[in-house]
């Protein structure tokens, strides 16, 4: 076979929107086009959030196109000072171009849903056609794109009507999505939610051939909560409230910015399904995040304080946050200046200070409310106690078994005290040094630690007997309480001792290798745990930034960054905050063992602030993943690996 030349000509620099078209999954969901419509809708909502426009109309046409029309200021159309092209063209054709990065000056967004600067550019890149109409300054401006490129240059005409706003119509390109159709039920939920999150805003959904739907919630969350609750009754009256920090109150807390805060509505039901609806800057966070964690903790701490003052805590029953939340329904809308999400689709907030922010917002108001409504508070406490007692009865002691009988737990395992499998977590930690820190850092009630020695066996082509003959893998299987098995097996999962099994390795090449070996073990020999969503990968930070005190009200602080990109974002933010260049100190962690127990807890183990990636796949996805593992990890697939790397080297980071 002829060798392919590997020289400068082989290095490609993807320009413009080409990266999006080559790798759409990095920028949006590819199951259906809802997210690229949401990016346009979010821009319209950001205008309303900033005080411009009170009506947004979303229209779905039979030809597959979707249109979003707002009453905002209209996307700027004057020439960009650097790019020398109309600003609207720059916004729709360049990644990382937008009005939400700056924190000062006229016309910028202080609080907004999108801070990546790739939103509508991605929407344009993945559409066959995109038509943008801007109304501002007594003119109507139109520009048309096809395949992400300019098809019709910006045209302007004077109009008589006094109108401002932006109208964007997209024709999603079916070749980028599994299904070309926008799911109407999800779109309706999205459009309706914007109305209740911003009281006074009217949102309209028009589907060609169907009656128009319109929503305006004058009382915001409380009114929407009643709509969601239906005919069911609450155990106690609805607890609603809002708190936003002004300059004076924000100055008392290092990381909180003026304007940040939250609005909420929460109630408890004795039976039936519960719902949780959380948002950040009006962006739906379907997977929750740090704001939800802070909200939950703040209310739970307030309930504990109320119960303690009134001696409501029964002996022998220990409440945990889940006891309060298992019967709770809530809607939550947080507003945060420096948002950080897990991925471009923004379904989970990872902004660290959001947990503290939400605790400060809700703890004292809820404790005050409970003391003002003691009978209602008592009913909520009794419901939580009932859930705790039910949990205790479900989580009775169990024996961890192997096929050969009762197994002795591995000597290096430091187990947790709780018998509640759903809450318990097992950390598989790389190295004795990191394992020592993890043992000190952990929550002894619910977190167990099993240190691993070096790199585990590559189990790609090994059978179950060989796997169990390896002491390290035997220790893992015994600690988990599940025997190695195949994809077609029906293993006994009754001995499973932990709701989450978390792989915690260094954020370097060796850590990545160990992580790959462990994932090979789980995908090939414990696929039912993966299918059940029990396996997670921790994401420890690579950098720590120590920022000195900045005068009164700005004490010293510590920032953690997952990777180089987050580090650049953090440094850019410090420069915007006028922190003296070089005043900060950057430390690159060589491994988890370098972290103190406090740092390891704060960054990687604390459920409120850590980042986890869930390895949950269905049986078909697991089968596809197993084939990839076979290609990448099987000793007999060296030639296949070389061919694969030749084909995919542009899109994959690999340590060769």
Which residues carry out catalysis?
A: 430, 506, 508, 510
Nearest to 221 by CA among 379, 329, 345: 329
Alpha helices in 490-546 (DSSP H): 509-525, 527-531
Separation between Cα atoms, residue 269 and residue 386, nearest integer Å: 13
Q: Would you say how long the chain is, in residues?
A: 656
Separation between Cα atoms, residue 233 and residue 21, nearest integer Å: 50
Let me know: does 134 contact 77? Beta carbons within 8 Å.
yes
Question: Which DSSP state fits 341?
Answer: B
Return the biggest CA–CA distance within the chain: 85
- Alpha carbon 435 to its chain's center: 27
Separation between Cα atoms, residue 338 and residue 353, nearest integer Å: 10
Nearest to 650 by CA among 174, 23, 232: 23
Degrees (nearest 5) of the Cα angle 29, 34, 39? 85
Let me know: does 187 contact 40? Beta carbons within 8 Å.
no
Q: Which of left, alpha, beta for 165 (phi over 0: left; psi -120 to 50: alpha)?
A: left
Question: Which DSSP state fits 465?
Answer: H
Let me know: does 235 contact 269? Beta carbons within 8 Å.
yes
Let me know: does 194 contact 54? Beta carbons within 8 Å.
no
Separation between Cα atoms, residue 609 and residue 359, nearest integer Å: 13
Helix or strand or coil: residue 346? coil
CA dihedral 152, 153, 157, 163 (to 10 degrees): 90
- Strand (E) or helix (H) holding 388: helix 374-394
139-146, strands of its sheet edge to edge: 149-158, 139-146, 127-136, 165-172, 66-69, 55-60, 202-207, 213-216
Separation between Cα atoms, residue 38 and residue 32, nearest integer Å: 12
* Residues ≥6 apart with Cβ < 8 Å to 262: 242, 243, 244, 291, 295, 332, 333, 334, 335, 357, 358, 361, 362
Helix or strand or coil: residue 79? strand
Q: Which token pair is 288?
A: 């929750």
CA dihedral 458, 462, 463, 467 (to 10 degrees): -30
Helix or strand or coil: residue 572? helix
User: Is residue 63 exposed (0-12), middle (13-18) or buried (19+ Cβ within 10 Å)?
Assistant: exposed
């Amino acid at each position: 076979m002829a060798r392919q030349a590997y020289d400068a000509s082989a290095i490609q620099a993807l320009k413009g929107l080409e990266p999006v078209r080559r790798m759409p999954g990095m920028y949006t969901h590819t199951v259906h086009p809802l997210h690229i419509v949401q990016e346009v809708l979010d821009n319209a909502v950001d205008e309303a959030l900033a005080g411009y426009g009170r009506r947004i109309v979303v229209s779905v046409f039979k030809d597959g196109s979707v249109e979003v029309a707002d009453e905002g200021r209209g996307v700027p159309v004057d020439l960009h000072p650097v790019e020398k092209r109309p600003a609207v063209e720059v916004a729709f054709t360049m990644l990382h171009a937008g009005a939400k990065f700056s924190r000062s000056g006229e016309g910028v967004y202080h609080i907004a849903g999108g801070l990546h600067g790739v939103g509508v550019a991605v929407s344009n890149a993945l559409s066959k056609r995109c038509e943008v109409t801007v109304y501002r300054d007594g003119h109507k401006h139109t520009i048309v794109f096809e395949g992400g490129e300019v098809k019709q240059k910006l045209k302007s005409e004077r109009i008589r009507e006094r109108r401002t706003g932006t109208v964007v119509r997209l024709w999603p390109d079916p070749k980028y999505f599994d299904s070309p159709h926008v799911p109407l039920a999800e779109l309706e939920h999205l459009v309706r939610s914007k109305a209740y999150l911003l009281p006074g805003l009217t949102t309209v959904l028009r589907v060609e051939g169907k009656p128009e739907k319109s929503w305006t919630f004058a009382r915001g969350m409380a009114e929407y909560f009643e709509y969601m609750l239906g005919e069911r009754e609450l155990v106690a009256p609805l607890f609603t409230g809002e708190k936003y920090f002004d300059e004076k109150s924000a100055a008392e807390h290092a990381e909180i910015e003026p304007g940040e805060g939250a609005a909420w509505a929460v109630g408890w039901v004795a039976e039936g399904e519960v719902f949780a609806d959380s948002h950040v800057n009006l962006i739906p966070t379907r997977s929750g995040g740090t704001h939800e964690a802070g909200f939950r903790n703040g209310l739970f701490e307030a309930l504990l304080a109320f119960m303690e003052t009134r001696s409501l805590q029964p002996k022998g029953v220990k409440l945990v946050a889940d006891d309060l939340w298992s019967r709770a329904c809530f809607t939550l809308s947080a507003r945060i200046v420096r948002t950080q999400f897990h991925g471009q689709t923004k379904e989970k907030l990872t902004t660290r200070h959001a947990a503290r922010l939400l605790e400060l917002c809700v703890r004292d108001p809820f404790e005050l409310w409970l003391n003002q409504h003691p009978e209602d508070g008592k009913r909520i406490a009794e419901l939580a106690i009932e859930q705790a007692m039910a949990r205790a009865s479900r989580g009775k002691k169990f024996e961890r078994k192997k096929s050969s009988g009762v197994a002795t737990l591995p000597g290096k395992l430091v187990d947790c005290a709780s018998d509640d499998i759903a809450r318990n977590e097992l950390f598989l930690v790389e190295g004795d040094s990191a394992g020592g820190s993890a043992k000190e850092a952990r929550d002894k009630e619910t977190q167990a630690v099993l240190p691993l020695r070096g790199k585990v066996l590559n189990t790609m082509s090994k059978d179950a007997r060989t796997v169990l003959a390896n002491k390290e893998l035997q220790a893992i299987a015994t600690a988990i309480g599940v025997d190695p098995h195949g994809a077609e097996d029906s293993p006994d999962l009754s001995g499973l001792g932990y709701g989450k099994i978390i792989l915690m390795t260094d954020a370097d090449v060796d850590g990545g290798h160990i992580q790959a070996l462990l994932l090979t073990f789980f995908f090939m020999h414990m696929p039912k745990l993966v299918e059940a969503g029990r396996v997670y990968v921790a994401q420890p930070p690579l950098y720590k930034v120590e920022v000195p005190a900045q005068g009164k009200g700005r004490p010293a602080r510590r920032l953690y960054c997952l990777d180089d990109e987050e580090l650049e974002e953090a440094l850019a933010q410090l420069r915007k905050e006028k922190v003296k260049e070089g005043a900060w100190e950057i430390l690159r962690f060589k491994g988890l063992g370098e972290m103190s127990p406090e740092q390891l807890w704060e960054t990687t183990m604390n459920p409120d602030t850590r980042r986890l990636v869930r390895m949950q796949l269905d049986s078909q996805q697991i089968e596809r993943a197993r084939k990839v593992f076979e290609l990448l990890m099987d000793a007999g697939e060296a030639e296949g690996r070389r061919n694969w790397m030749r084909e995919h080297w542009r899109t994959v980071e690999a340590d060769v």
